Amino acid sequence: MNKQSEIRDLAIIGDRRTAALVASDGAIVWYCPGRFDRPSLFAALLDPAKGGAWTLDLPAARLARRDYIEDSGVLETRFELGQGELTVTDWMSTGDTAARGICRVFSPPPQPVAMRVQPAPGYASGEASLHPVAGGVCIDGRHWLYASHPLVATDGTIRLELPAGQDGWAILIDAPLETPDSSLLQVWRDATLAEWREIASQVKYHGPFERQVAQSLRALRLLTYAPNGGIIAAATTSLPEISGGARNYDYRYVWMRDAGMIVSALVRAGSHGPDERRFLEFICGSKQEDPAKPLLPPFLSLDLEPAPDVTRLDLGGYAGSRPVRIGNGANRQLQLDGFGNVLLAAKLIYGRHETREHWETVRQIADFLAAHWHEPDYGIWEEHEARQYTVGKVIVSCGLRYIADFAEDASQAEKWRAAAKDVESYVAAHCINSEGAYAAFAGAETVDISAALFPAWGYVSADSAEMLATVRVLERDYARGDLYWRHLEELGRFEEGAFLAGTLWLAQYWILRSDLPRARKMLETALEYATDLGFFAEEADPGSRTMLGNFPQTFVHASFIGAVIDYRQALIEAARPSPEPS
């Protein structure tokens, strides 16, 4: 039985088609061959007993250091072993010449090292079929494992021993090879690093938190599906928002809600344009032509189709958190904030690149919102009951107002601006609670952390009476220290983990209020709940100091980048000399 890996111990490797999670002991505990949302071959992360893993037997080893080579997705992990060290280099090859899969290279260890590969295909739904082939082992006729030293396959496990003083390698790929050797892996490694250098060259950020921003950009890149530009919310499914609880969802899809945040992060970090423009292309390419269906679903599979309905898997769950789900049951909800985020993303790209690409779809989204903004929806947190959620109204108003600047004619622009004003009037009349704060939804007394974004979106000034009241309520009712919780009608306060993006949104708020020391403290608090490699999960438990929720979470990484960019700009402005009095 494999041990349970902590989320904090995970690193990610990937080829911008799929990804694998590598624990700090060298075990690969999650891997879905072919594509992020395909069935797993290793799922020990969700069931250490039967989920399958690729493990290294390193008794008494100590993790000395791990990091990525340059700005790539090539991971190096160094272990201290007895009288010496072992370095493991893990990556997934990219480029036209490489077979798809996982590559592992081992430096000469000071003592023998045993390796076990326990495949569990189809989310561990059946036993793997193992057959010897020339130089390796074939798994289920679909995957091939080759290594520098002899492989022995028995009882559903493939074993290898790396002798002391000898370097080695192993590859798990999706096509057979005749005579793989270390020189081939070197070619693949060099090609992969070259491609990552090209990808990383598209954004060059310099300023405060430079290393952490680079790490967050790596997370966004690793979760980008290169064939069409979709950026998934996370690489995993069913990592719990409540440890031992049932709030376990599949995040291996592309959310409309994330579009504005991710595009904003890339544009404002100085991107040359490819990733964010392809992301917008992906979203606009999902437009439904059937008039009986919503114009855009709230989130998409990487096939540009609505995500599949939920299926429950017979897995034990992370730390016993069940059910384990694939698919997502919110795929037919109306989520106005998703549409609004697409308009914000388009506005940012249009303004940066002086273009109006995908205009016909963007126009249809704006027309849809102008006609349907008044309808109840399921909100940014996809609750089970439709309501008049304030955040959806606000981002619709902002999106319509911004996209009107790119309208084809005056009447089109006036229609969208008039709808935006109607939304503002509705919010003012129905979405302010008895304390003068923005309510979570019309008629509610509760507030939600998403309101912290209203000044960043330009909806209202940070020092308006409504925002001052909202922040007072958030600090009183939804905060512990510098960590904040979101409001969920279907869940008691503080039951789930602290919502890390919320702390980052409050940091942006205090930047707009010119309280830079407070903002920096909040950024540093969020970073306490990142891994040693800078990856964020969705949530954190401040009591146990553990990470919760799916991983890595692109929404949080984009929020971090956005907050840091605002912080850098505020520092620049604060350093400018005051104008001489006239």
Cα gap 305→267, rounded to integer Å: 26
Helix (H, G, I), strand (E, B) or coil at 394: helix
Q: Look at residue 375 in the predicted model and tell me its pLDDT.
A: 96
Interval 513-532 mean pLDDT = 98
Q: What is the pTM of this model?
A: 0.96
Please state, in angstroms and rounded to a whole number, the distance separating the CA atoms of residues 540 and 410: 48
The strand order across the sheet containing 62-68 reads 62-68, 75-81, 84-92, 101-106, 168-173, 143-147, 136-139, 130-133
d(CA 331, CA 338): 12
| Distance (Å, whole) CA 279 – CA 296 | 14
E-assigned strand segments in 319-403? 324-326
What was the pLDDT predicted at 582? 60
- Has residue 581 got a pLDDT over 80? no
**How does pLDDT run across 132-167, given as a tens digit for each residue?**
999 999 999 999 999 999 999 999 999 999 999 999
Residue pointed to by tokens 């969705």: 538
pLDDT over 70 for what percent of the chain?
98
Residue pair 276/573 in contact by the 8 Å Cβ criterion: no
Cα distance between residue 250 and residue 230, in whole Å: 16
Does the pLDDT of residue 291 top 90, yes or no?
A: no
| pLDDT tens column, 248-257 | 999 999 998 8
Q: How confident is residue 292, by pLDDT bands cut at 50, 70 and 90?
A: low
CB 119 within 8 A of CB 191: no
Cα separation, 341 vs 255, in Å, equals 10
pLDDT digits (tens, 9 = 90+) for 427-475: 999 999 999 999 999 999 999 999 999 999 999 999 999 999 999 999 9
Report the interhelical angle of 259-268 vs 336-353 (nearest 10°). 20
pLDDT level of residue 479 (50, 70, 90 thresholds)? very high
Tell me how crowded residue 8 is: count the other CB atoms within 10 A of its CB: 17
DSSP classification of residue 62: E
Q: Taking residues 544-557, report their average pLDDT.
A: 96
The tokens describing 484, both together, are 């904040």
| Predicted confidence band of residue 262 (pLDDT cuts 50, 70, 90) | very high
Which residues fall within 8 angstroms of residue 203, CB to CB, at 6 or more apart? 217, 266, 269, 270, 271, 272
In this prediction, residue 237 carries a pLDDT of 98
Report the candidate in 163, 121, 164 with the shortest Cα–Cα distance to residue 140: 121
Strands 143-147 and 53-57, by their bridges, are: unpaired
b/e per residue 454-485 (b: at least 16 CB within 10 A): bbbbebbebeeebbebbbebbeeebbeebbbb
The answer to whether 340 and 369 have CB atoms below 8 angstroms apart is: yes
Q: Compute the average pLDDT of residues 249-276.
A: 91
- Report pLDDT for 1: 59
- Which helix (DSSP H) or strand (DSSP E) does residue 171 occupy? strand 168-173
User: Does residue 296 surpass a pLDDT of 90?
Assistant: no
Average pLDDT of every residue of the chain: 94
For the chain, report the end-to-end CA distance as a whole number of angstroms: 77
Q: Between 299 and 564, whose confidence is greater?
A: 564
Predicted confidence band at 306 (pLDDT cuts at 50, 70, 90)?
confident
Q: How far apart are CA 250 and CA 485, in angstroms?
A: 21
Cα–Cα nearest to 337, from 287, 418, 294, 397: 397
